[in-house]
Amino acid sequence: MMYSEKVMDHFMNPRNVGEIENADGIGEVGNAKCGDIMKMYLKIEGDVIVDVKFKTFGCGSAIATSSIATEMIKGKTVEEALHLTNRAVVEALDGLPAQKIHCSVLAEQAVKSALLDYARKNNLQLTGLEDFDPTEDHHDHHDEDEQ
Amino acid sequence: MMYSEKVMDHFMNPRNVGEIENADGIGEVGNAKCGDIMKMYLKIEGDVIVDVKFKTFGCGSAIATSSIATEMIKGKTVEEALHLTNRAVVEALDGLPAQKIHCSVLAEQAVKSALLDYARKNNLQLTGLEDFDPTEDHHDHHDEDEQ
Amino acid sequence: MKKRIYLDYSATTPMKQEVLDEMMPYFTEKFGNPSSIHSFGREAKQAIDLSRERLAKAIGAKAEEIFFTGGGSEADNWAIKGIAYANRDKGNHIITTKIEHHAVLHTCEYLEKNGFEVTYLDVDAFGHIKIDDLKNAITDQTILITIMFANNEIGTIQPIQEIGQITKEKKIIFHVDAVQAFGNVKIDVNDLNIDLMSLSAHKVYGPKGIGALYIRKGVKLHSLIHGGAQERRRRAGTENLPGIVGFGKAASLASENLEVHIQHVKTLRDKLIKGIMEQVNYVRLNGHSEYRLPGNVNFAFEFIEGESLLLSLDMLGIAGSSGSACTSGSLDPSHVLMSLGLTHEIAHGSLRLTIGDFTTEEDIDYVLQELPKVVDRLRQMSPLYEK
Amino acid sequence: MKKRIYLDYSATTPMKQEVLDEMMPYFTEKFGNPSSIHSFGREAKQAIDLSRERLAKAIGAKAEEIFFTGGGSEADNWAIKGIAYANRDKGNHIITTKIEHHAVLHTCEYLEKNGFEVTYLDVDAFGHIKIDDLKNAITDQTILITIMFANNEIGTIQPIQEIGQITKEKKIIFHVDAVQAFGNVKIDVNDLNIDLMSLSAHKVYGPKGIGALYIRKGVKLHSLIHGGAQERRRRAGTENLPGIVGFGKAASLASENLEVHIQHVKTLRDKLIKGIMEQVNYVRLNGHSEYRLPGNVNFAFEFIEGESLLLSLDMLGIAGSSGSACTSGSLDPSHVLMSLGLTHEIAHGSLRLTIGDFTTEEDIDYVLQELPKVVDRLRQMSPLYEK
Ligand SMILES: Cc1ncc(COP(=O)(O)O)c(C=O)c1O
Ligand SMILES: Cc1ncc(COP(=O)(O)O)c(C=O)c1O
Ligand code: FES
Ligand code: FES
């Protein structure tokens, strides 16, 4: 398994680590059983994400995807952040090994989950989150080739 | 498989190769199917083997055992030659690999077979040859460990 | 140059120079096929015979009881499937443990799909099986007991002698995966009543891709690899000549140096354990404190995850492992750690550091200086950690 | 120094210096376990990936269709047992030939004891199967056809393309033992419709103890060696890293040099055949005159026996073989030669001389000078020979 330089950079020097007190939206996805939990805090002013922080228990790629995801949504509108896909996260990191794609899914979910929390708290209806289920499990532990 | 120097000497410089015209006893054992035929010719005067020759189609050890067997019986009495065992042949050659022991049996049989021929031609009763069957097959092609 | 500290000797070892030196002629000069009659073949055959004797001597066996294989996994597969298929008429029950290497576990699972029944014994919090569990598991259908000598992740050493007594009394065939124990524990197959034993060269400073199965004289099993008459017709395939030569040398070195080796790695191991325990909170040592491979350290750090720990250490030039190397392609927590009763979170946060002959005291000092900082950094990022 | 002329390249080859050079760093420096996450593991993994690509390229396959094994015999065993067990529900019939290597034949015989039926196709006097025999042998139970590309004893090359057409039409899995053909014949698994193909490194100037099985994407088979997740979970065991690196290099060299190699060995081969045929009576060339491995010579000398011929040549420094190296432990005449319809006597008197990249014209001249004398000397001793 080989990580890109970008991944290693975000893993070793993660941006926006921490918590936000009185955050406007908090999302938590993953579970400790699978070895990964991502927690994301949003500070939203007007329609804009003015601050974002994360805490992650997980593999190197989970930490790197959390980090880059916070960068990618900071300063963006809620609407824009809603369109963050795991694919965009993977691309921004110059790729991820096949068995690590699900970590990027986790990052996308963490953002959505925090936005959902923000929407609920503010009684907003966010298009694109209707079908979103943050508890869905995207782990795929086995290779197709296994006998 | 490793042959002793003695074996290699008798193989490369076999003693008493050839045929004896009007031999007093001729023995032939083995068969071409198994890849080995030994033919032994005796010249007997009075009670003594005064000359002996062999021809062998077979492996290196077959040739070496034939050669040494001729040496071991030349100048001996018929009675003494009858007591030549394959074990003595093996010892005289400083040993043979396990799967090559049967070649020495062939040499013992070739001598006995020639003596039997001599006895028959001369209507003699030789003690020790009553049970001898020169067509018996001493090949054992398989290892005990085979699965 | 960047620091590179290798602390993953249980995954694999570098070859010793003496081993390489002994192998060198067999690549390009003495390259014959040992089955050939000619001089090239004979010199190859002699080299193999010598290695077989060296290996036999190292474990108290006879040379003709040593059969070379392509590695430890092949040896495990051969022993287990070979005994199972050869004894189908006697019974269909196999006993093993929950903490075996995958080469044993997945082989047993395969046999389960093919009509065999397998009992997987539990282990206690330190990784030991209970002898009574074993006794109770035996039925009149039991044809094989396969238990590892020492565990590759946590280093726990099983009571092989006691088990051997039982299998001997009950006349059940006893296979031992000694891939990790060999070179780290004194082993005599007769003292221990072992019937079959798997070994692998690359764990003892020998070459990769070569292993051996000890088969006690008289024990019958099916072949795994059929074909030519090599290895007394039991394991086909042109012999890995340089590999066998290297394994022979490595085995000799391992038994000659056993005491010195144990002393060296144990001293460093104890220093490492003590140092970390003193500096870091919320950490436990997985495995047994006494019945433990001399070079094995396995820590569980709470609140953090193994891969990110490994990666961080790797950036500092420290090479360790979480779980066994073979399973690191997987995202599941180690089956061994789970069998000890650890929670998922804690199993995920485990780090194995294994010490070998080339490890120095400076290496350990460096780890003691850096590891606590890494743990702290990751904990700061963890949503599970509340100071 | 005593002359030593190696003419047993089909038994095994010396490693080329370029191959050894490429392997060297992986013994003591870049020794990591490819499954490990750390830098030692990653550089090992990269080396294996490169080798896999090199091998794939050499046979027109994709990298992910190459699986490394412990040799050609393991590859044969795996392919045949793996396909048989995975397709038990579809049928129990396998077709092969009477002249396969023992790694195929004994595997098929083992399967016969376990509920499978095997048809062993006859060959003609030159070692070719008849396509009609093959067509007629196919039943609705046929799950596998396994036919060697080129024979190790007599060098005969089978009509693989035609066979591949048939297996494709009939949708039967096609396994090819290409251990001898690889490096001597151009092979493209797609052109030839091959589904599985066995390779072995030590026959192409690579290391012993490493082989590969090509498995066409989508073909399902049971594993032979269960355990860790190596080789995409299909073949367990810590990878033989230097072996794989060496095999990759050897495969690259083999395909780059294919034309030159064929030209070189063919020229010497033809000279050897011509020279012996002119000088010696009662001799025939076993195998096919045209569809023949470029470096293979196999003579049957009447009235003499193979081992004594080999030994005599060995004393002169000439290393040859009678039958295949793998069977020389046995006293039976070669099953291949018997399948050609030779009598026992003649099969026993066969001599294989196989030529390789290091063979020189002087070597051949020396053989042409000595071999007739040896044959004559042995014939003088033979009771079967009457001038
Ligand atoms: C045609 C053929 N198949 C299979 C093998 C077995 O290969 P290995 O010796 O690498 O196991 C050989 C050589 O021994 C061979 O010539
Ligand atoms: C306990 C144990 N058994 C078996 C194996 C498998 O050995 P190999 O990798 O040589 O196939 C290993 C190491 O990987 C091991 O640690
Ligand atoms: S978050 Fe599960 S492996 Fe990366
Ligand atoms: S005579 Fe049969 S092998 Fe020697």
Nearest residue, CB atoms, C234 vs list B1, B2, B147? B147
CA distance D330 to chain C (A): 8
- Terminal alpha carbon distance of chain D: 37
- Chain centroid to Cα A126, Å, comes to 18
Mean pLDDT of D250-270: 98
Return the ligand number nearest the Cα of D99.
1
pLDDT for res C348: 87
Ligand 3 centre from A61 Cα, in Å?
A: 7
Ligand 2 atom at minimum distance from C211 CA: 10
CATH topology of domain B5-121: Sufe protein. Chain: A (3.90.1010)
Higher pLDDT, C245 or B126: C245
List, in order of start, the domains of chain C with CATH numbers.
5-13+258-381 (3.90.1150.10), 17-256 (3.40.640.10)
| pLDDT > 50? residue D326 | no
Cβ burial C260-275 (10 Å sphere, 16+ → b, else e): ebbebbbebbebbbeb
Residues of C near B (Cβ–Cβ under 8 Å) read 37, 42, 45-46, 221-223, 226, 229, 232-234
Strand D93-97 relative to strand D117-121, pairing: parallel
Question: For every one of its 147 residues, what pLDDT tens digit does chain A have, with 9 covering 90 and above?
Answer: 579 999 999 999 999 999 999 999 999 999 877 788 999 999 999 999 999 999 999 999 999 999 999 999 999 999 999 999 999 999 999 999 988 898 999 999 999 999 999 999 999 888 777 778 766 655 544 433 333
CA distance C22 to chain D (A): 13
- Contact between C229 and D202 using a beta-carbon 8 Å cutoff: no
- Contact between C4 and D40 using a beta-carbon 8 Å cutoff: yes
Chain A residues with beta carbon closer than 8 angstroms to that of C383: 28, 37-39, 55-57
C-alpha span between D223 and B29 (Å, rounded) = 50
Subunits in contact with chain C (3 or more CB pairs closer than 8 Å): A, B, D
C-alpha span between C144 and C79 (Å, rounded) = 10
Query: Quick one: tokens of C260?
Result: 């010195």
pLDDT for res B135: 67
Ligand 3 centre from A137 Cα, in Å?
A: 12
Q: Which chain C residue's Cα is nearest to A30?
A: C383
Phi and psi based region of residue A95 (left: phi greater than 0; alpha: psi -120 to 50; beta: remaining): left
List C-alpha distances in Å: C185 to C188, C336, C349: 10, 21, 28
Return the ligand number nearest the Cα of C326.
2
pLDDT for res C207: 98
pLDDT band at D322 (very low <50, low <70, confident <90, very high): confident
pLDDT tens digit sequence for C45-78? 999 999 999 999 999 999 999 999 999 999 999 9
| pLDDT > 90? residue D283 | yes
From A139-143, C99-103, C177-181, C332-336, the region with the lowest mean pLDDT: A139-143
- Contact between A56 and C383 using a beta-carbon 8 Å cutoff: yes
CA atoms within 13 A on the CB side of D325: 30
Does B32 reach chain D within 8 Å, measured CB to CB? yes
Question: Could you write out the DSSP letters of every residue in A48-117?
Answer: EEEEEEEEEES-HHHHHHHHHHHHHHTT-BHHHHHT--HHHHHHHTT---GGGHHHHHHHHHHHHHHHHH
C-alpha span between D328 and D334 (Å, rounded) = 9
| pLDDT > 60? residue D325 | no
Of the candidates C54, C28, C81, the one whose C-alpha atom is nearest the C-alpha of residue C225 is C81
pLDDT for res D387: 65
C-alpha span between C326 and C8 (Å, rounded) = 12
Phi and psi based region of residue A13 (left: phi greater than 0; alpha: psi -120 to 50; beta: remaining): beta
With the most atoms of ligand 4 within 8 angstroms of its CB, the residue from B100, B105, B138, B140 to mutate is: B100
From A57-71, C227-241, C325-339, D168-182, the region with the lowest mean pLDDT: C325-339
CB contacts < 8 A, A to D, total: 19
- Contact between A1 and D37 using a beta-carbon 8 Å cutoff: yes
- Contact between D40 and C8 using a beta-carbon 8 Å cutoff: yes
Ligand 3 atom at minimum distance from A35 CA: 2
| pLDDT > 50? residue B111 | yes
Of the candidates A21, A20, A51, A44, the one whose C-alpha atom is nearest the C-alpha of residue A119 is A44
Subunits in contact with chain D (3 or more CB pairs closer than 8 Å): A, B, C
Domain boundaries defined on chain B: 5-121
C-alpha span between D306 and D312 (Å, rounded) = 10
| Catalytic choice (C125, C311, C315, C326) | C326
Ligand 2 centre from C179 Cα, in Å?
A: 6
Return the ligand number nearest the Cα of C240.
1
Tell the residue number behind the tokens 């090199």, with chain if given: D54
pLDDT tens digit sequence for C114-159? 999 999 999 999 999 999 999 999 999 999 999 999 999 999 999 9
Atom 8, ligand 1: which residue's CA is nearest? D72
Ligand 3 centre from A109 Cα, in Å?
A: 13
From A26-30, C20-24, C343-347, the region with the lowest mean pLDDT: C343-347
pLDDT tens digit sequence for D109-156? 999 999 999 999 999 999 999 999 999 999 999 999 999 999 999 999
With the most atoms of ligand 2 within 8 angstroms of its CB, the residue from C203, C213, C296 to mutate is: C203
pLDDT band at D329 (very low <50, low <70, confident <90, very high): very low
- Contact between C303 and A59 using a beta-carbon 8 Å cutoff: no
pLDDT band at C345 (very low <50, low <70, confident <90, very high): confident
- Contact between D233 and A146 using a beta-carbon 8 Å cutoff: yes
List C-alpha distances in Å: C236 to C320, D209, D334: 36, 11, 17
Ligand 2 centre from C172 Cα, in Å?
A: 24
From C173-177, C290-294, D329-333, the region with the lowest mean pLDDT: D329-333
Ligand 3 residue neighbourhood (C-beta within 6 Å): A 35-36, 58-59, 61-62, 100, 103, 106; C 331
| pLDDT > 70? residue C327 | no
Ligand 3 centre from A30 Cα, in Å?
A: 9
| pLDDT > 50? residue B75 | yes
SS3 label, residue C145 = strand
| pLDDT > 70? residue B78 | yes
pLDDT tens digit sequence for A41-80? 999 999 999 999 999 999 999 999 999 999 999 999 999 9
Chain A residues with beta carbon closer than 8 angstroms to that of C332: 141
pLDDT for res D2: 72
Mean pLDDT of C171-188: 98
- Contact between D345 and B14 using a beta-carbon 8 Å cutoff: no
pLDDT band at D42 (very low <50, low <70, confident <90, very high): very high
Let me know: does D35 contact D236? Beta carbons within 8 Å. Answer: no
C-alpha span between D340 and D337 (Å, rounded) = 5
